[in-house]
Chains A and B, each alone.
Chain A
Amino acid sequence: MADRGLIGWEYQCYSFPVEHGKVREFAVAVKDDDPVLHDVAAARAAGYADLPAPPTFSAVTAHWAPPGGLDALGLDLRRVLAGEAEWEYLEDIVAGDVLTVRSRVADVVGKTGSRGAMTLVTTEHTFTDQHDRTVLRLRTTVIELGEH
């Protein structure tokens, strides 16, 4: 069960490479057939240095985040639903980049909605590239159904 004591809690920082094959695999999975995601020549013709990361590519961090991160929130997966997500794009992210992710719990709110009591946990993620530029910000909210 998530509680307000988690606010400000920081996940262990980690880095991951943006891989060519992963960009293509992700694009196929989200059914995006834009050639810039599949063909380096098309990407370069569009002004990218390499295949650009699709807009929600940050999801692949699930492959890289240190184990145990979510466990620290104490969430019960059977009662957790995705709530909201917002991406802010600051710079191009392309295959070959190496991103570092810093995440912290921004808010934990208990409320009662149409599904009864629920807890909303909001996390802020900041992605920096190998040049220390902040390239992406992501804010996600998950909903845990049940008593606060």
Chain B
Amino acid sequence: MTQAHTSAPAVPALPPAPVRRVGPLTRTDFVRYAGAGGDFNPMHHDDDFARAAGYPSVFGHGLLTAGILSGYAAAWLGRRNLRRFGVRYVGQVWPGDTLVLAGEPVRATAGADGRTEVEVSLTVHSEADGREPRLVLRGQATATLPGEERTA
């Protein structure tokens, strides 16, 4: 894991991930995630509670968005290759929002045994009718891609 190998020609380029749209998300999606994950914070299903806290309505669990993004990253990088996945929550996801998932490679480094360590950045924007897309979550992931065993 040294920076010195970053520009080595043996490191294959990872293409950007194809953009994926998920949604529009509904209150039912939030409730389904509450049950699956076990987070029954009323902020995510009780509009009265959310409004009393100053929000216009309930909003989605940060971990729901993170979970959707993690599946996107796993599909792009290979589930078994994933070493780290991190998220920073930037904004709320409201009922009716559609998530727009994107990923870009940041760095590829030659690792041991012909493997490639890749670091990627990920974003989730939230779009809805009549509104500019908003960034709601930033992510990053690292993965170890296997070497090309068959040609070695």
Give me the interface of A with B, judged by CB distance under 8 Å.
22, 25-32, 34, 36, 46-47, 52, 54-56, 59-64, 77-79, 81-89, 92
In the bound complex, residues from chain B placing their C-beta under 8 Å from that of A26 are: 36-37, 67
Contact stretch, chosen from B10-18, B69-77, B107-115, B125-133: B69-77
Q: For window 20-52 of chain B, which residues contact chain A by CB distance below 8 Å?
A: 22, 29, 32-33, 35-39, 41-43, 49, 52
Q: In the complex, what's the smallest C-beta–C-beta distance from B23 to chain A, in angstroms?
A: 9
Q: Which of B33, B66, B79 interacts with A85 by CB under 8 Å?
A: B66
Task: Decide: B37 and A59 in contact? CB cutoff 8 A.
Answer: yes
Question: B residues touching A (Cβ–Cβ < 8 Å)?
Answer: 22, 29, 32-33, 35-39, 41-43, 49, 52-53, 61-64, 66-68, 70-71, 73-75, 79-80, 82-89
A-B contact pairs, 21 of them (CB 8 A): A29-B29, A31-B29, A32-B70, A54-B67, A55-B67, A55-B71, A60-B37, A60-B38, A61-B38, A82-B61, A82-B62, A83-B88, A83-B89, A84-B86, A84-B87, A84-B88, A85-B66, A86-B85, A86-B86, A87-B85, A92-B80
Which of B36, B41, B84 is the most central at the interface, judged by chain A CB atoms within 10 Å of its CB?
B36
Distance in angstroms between the alpha carbons of A89 and B79 in the assembled complex: 11
Given contacts A30-B67, A30-B71, A32-B71, A62 and B39 within 8 Å (CB-CB): yes
A-B residue pairs, 4 tightest by C-beta: A62-B38, A30-B67, A82-B62, A32-B71
B39 cross-chain contacts in A, Cβ below 8 A = 59, 62
A62 CA to B84 CA, complexed, in Å: 21
Residues of chain A within 8 A (CB-CB) of B61 are: 82
Q: Given A29-B64, A30-B67, is A62 in contact with B37 using a C-beta cutoff of 8 Å?
A: yes
- C-alpha gap A15/B13 in the complex (Å): 41
Instruction: Identify which of A46, A56, A63 gathers the most chain B CB atoms within 10 Å of its CB.
Output: A56
B70 in contact with A55 (CB, 8 Å): yes
A120 → B minimal CB distance (Å): 12
Apart from A34-B79, A46-B80, A86-B84: 6 A-B pairs, beta carbons within 8 A:
A30-B36, A46-B79, A59-B37, A60-B36, A77-B41, A83-B88
Q: Which residues of A contact B37 (CB under 8 A)?
A: 26, 29, 59-60, 62
Does B32 lie within 8 Å of A28, measured CB to CB?
A: yes
> How far, in angstroms, from A46 to B62 measured CA to CA in the complex?
29
Bound-complex Cα distance A83 to B66 (A) = 12
Nearest Cβ on chain A to B114's Cβ, whole angstroms = 19
Determine if A56 and B38 form an interchain contact, defined as CB atoms under 8 angstroms apart.
no
Q: How far is the CB of A129 from chain B (nearest CB, A)?
A: 17
**A residues within 8 A CB of B86?**
84-87
Question: Beyond A29-B32, A60-B36, is A47–B80 a contact (Cβ under 8 Å)?
Answer: yes
| Contact assessment for B36 and A29 in the assembled complex, using a CB-CB cutoff below 8 Å | yes
Our pick among A31, A83, A84 for the contact of B68 (Cβ within 8 Å) is A31
